[in-house]
Amino acid sequence: MHTPVSAGAALWPACLEVLAQELPEQQFNTWIKPLNAQLATDQSKLTLFVANRFKLDWVRAQYATRIAGILESLHGQPVSVELALAPRAALVKYTPQEIASSAGSPPPAVHEATPAPIPSEEESAGGSGFRHRLNTALTFDTLVEGSANRMARAAALHVAGAPGQLYNPLFIYGGVGLGKTHLMHAVGNRLLQARPDAKVLYIHAEQFVSDVVKAYQRKTFDQFKDRYHSLDLLLIDDVQFFANKDRTQEEFFNAFEALLAKKSHIVMTSDTYPKGLTAIHERLVSRFDSGLTVAIEPPELEMRVAILINKARAEGAEMPEEVAFFVAKNVRSNVRELEGALRKILAYSRFNQKEISIQLAREALRDLLSIQNRQISVENIQKTVADYYKIKVADMYSKKRPASIARPRQIAMYLAKELTQKSLPEIGELFGGRDHTTVLHAVRKIAGERQQLTELNQQLHVLEQTLKG
């Protein structure tokens, strides 16, 4: 039985809410936000109108399946998703590359080019009229502090209060969705609060690559240098994207040196520590590592609960503590996934006009929970890790302590903590009756080394993917 049409009219906005949290802001603003949607009267089909063929093919390939999954989750039954070209009158926004293509000219013969993003609404100008691209909602006040980000937050606060002095450059690294970007925006917003005339720029590494390409194509390197070499604060996200882009690395090195010479500050983020970056020139890596390097780790349970409650409040909703604990126990990887889960719950609550409860959270997150419930036992983890490191499963429970056995055992304990709902004492019991402090030591040791050792991180990634199927 179909829900009323009036309820269905809210289906696409509710879907947008979920996507806005799941996707990086640049992706959402470029590919999803411009879409126009038309829902069939029986609510069985949603047609999305796209500006041009290039965007249509990209949205279909990258997002259509996920959109259909979210719609089904919200609606309670399948909704087919179709993509169509918008009427010509609706074609209002193009990237420079798309304009060139529509005019019949060949695409730029430069391999480093990336599609220029459509400027977001947050791209506003400071007191000097300089476009800073900061999201003004991302401040130190809206960042939940915990042991996972305490050191990085303290360093960022210091930079915001005294730019160009200590910790220059500040290099923040960690996995996806842990709050690195939030911290950078917070630094920029805090500095502009104190100095409205400061030249601050937040930019993703891909956009810097694009700017280098344009400067080469248009022979506008004077303007390029004027822009980047005159900054008081440069905030650049995901510098690992500079890999294998020699010209971009050269220009960034020049900008880096120019900014340090005039005591401007540079804050960077990456998915790994400087020495772990691949295909980036050694002289650039040494510059990255010359200031302060800090890690952001996945948030602990209490921090995840606080994040959920605070973010729900920011959305004008109250999340009961028991619901926050339920969600936090089941969504453990990063803040972005946590926010995505929250958005699903809020959208589901509004769409179905129900109060937020554990039962509603179960319904809203049923896809996520079903994936978790089909798998992972401690016994399965022990067997998988033992097979991978070519030891006996019995070695997981034994009292033997040679490195060839102790190391895989610690890795298995770490994965048991990350991938199951077992407590530390329960995990210890399953590893031959070991004390919970032994498990805690193993978890902390492997978590710390994962951030430092690229090879270990890759091994853990393989094991996680194997276990998750």
Model pLDDT, residue 163: 94
Residues of the chain above pLDDT 90, percent:
45
Residues 283 and 331 in one domain: no
**Averaged over 252-267, what is the pLDDT?**
96
Structure tokens given for 262: 């005039």
Model pLDDT, residue 156: 96
Residues 287 and 247 in one domain: yes
Residue at 336 is within a domain = yes
Which pLDDT tens digit goes with each residue over 377-432?
888 899 889 988 989 988 898 887 888 899 999 999 999 988 887 888 889 989 98
How far is Cα 455 from Cα 162, in angstroms, rounded to an integer?
37
Q: Which residues pair with 80 in a beta bridge?
A: 45
Residues 212 and 289 in one domain: yes
Mean of the per-residue pLDDT values of the chain:
83
Residues 173 and 284 in one domain: yes
CATH code (residue 243): 3.40.50.300
**Looking at the predicted structure, is the pLDDT value of residue 17 above 80?**
yes
**Looking at the predicted structure, is the pLDDT value of residue 57 above 80?**
no
Range of the domain at 395: 378-468
**Averaged over 167-172, what is the pLDDT?**
95
**Looking at the predicted structure, is the pLDDT value of residue 105 above 50?**
no
Model pLDDT, residue 130: 62
Residues 48 and 184 in one domain: no
Residue at 12 is within a domain = yes
Q: Which of 373, 403, 433 is the last residue of a domain?
A: 373
Q: Residues with Cβ < 8 Å from 429, sequence gap 6 or more?
A: none
CATH code (residue 459): 1.10.1750.10
Residues 385 and 438 in one domain: yes
Question: pLDDT tier at 125 (50, 70, 90 boundaries)?
Answer: very low
Residues 398 and 461 in one domain: yes
- Phi and psi at residue 64, in whole multiples of 5°? -60, -45
Q: Which helix (H) or strand (E) holds 235?
A: strand 233-237
Which pLDDT tens digit goes with each residue over 299-311?
888 899 999 999 9
Residues 273 and 184 in one domain: yes
Model pLDDT, residue 319: 94
Residue at 408 is within a domain = yes
The SS3 assignment for 269 reads strand
Model pLDDT, residue 330: 83
Residue at 278 is within a domain = yes
Model pLDDT, residue 85: 86
Residue at 194 is within a domain = yes
Residue bearing the bigger pLDDT, 300 or 107: 300
Q: Which of 73, 93, 113 is the last residue of a domain?
A: 93
Q: Which residues pair with 173 in a beta bridge?
A: 270, 295
Burial 404-419 (b: 16+ CB within 10 A, else e): ebebbbbbbbbbbbbb
Residues 321 and 227 in one domain: no
CATH code (residue 20): 3.30.300.180
* pTM exceeds 0.75: no
Model pLDDT, residue 409: 95
Residue at 275 is within a domain = yes
Which pLDDT tens digit goes with each residue over 222-243?
999 999 999 999 999 999 999 9
Residues 238 and 350 in one domain: no
Q: Which region among 40-49, 98-107, 124-133 has the lowest average model confidence (pLDDT)?
A: 98-107
**Looking at the predicted structure, is the pLDDT value of residue 95 above 50?**
no
Amino acid at position 196, single letter: P
Omega cis (within 30) before 402:
no
Highest mean pLDDT of the ranges 137-146, 172-181, 247-256, 393-402: 247-256
Residue at 384 is within a domain = yes
Model pLDDT, residue 40: 86
- Phi and psi at residue 349, in whole multiples of 5°? -65, -45
Q: How many domains does the chain have?
A: 4
CATH code (residue 351): 1.10.8.60
Residue at 117 is within a domain = no
Q: Which of 312, 347, 373 is the last residue of a domain?
A: 373
251 CB-contact burial (10 Å; exposed 0-12 / middle 13-18 / buried 19+): buried
Residues 82 and 179 in one domain: no
Question: pLDDT tier at 126 (50, 70, 90 boundaries)?
Answer: very low
Q: What is the largest CA-CA distance in the chain?
A: 73
Model pLDDT, residue 98: 35
Residues 333 and 271 in one domain: no
Model pLDDT, residue 239: 95
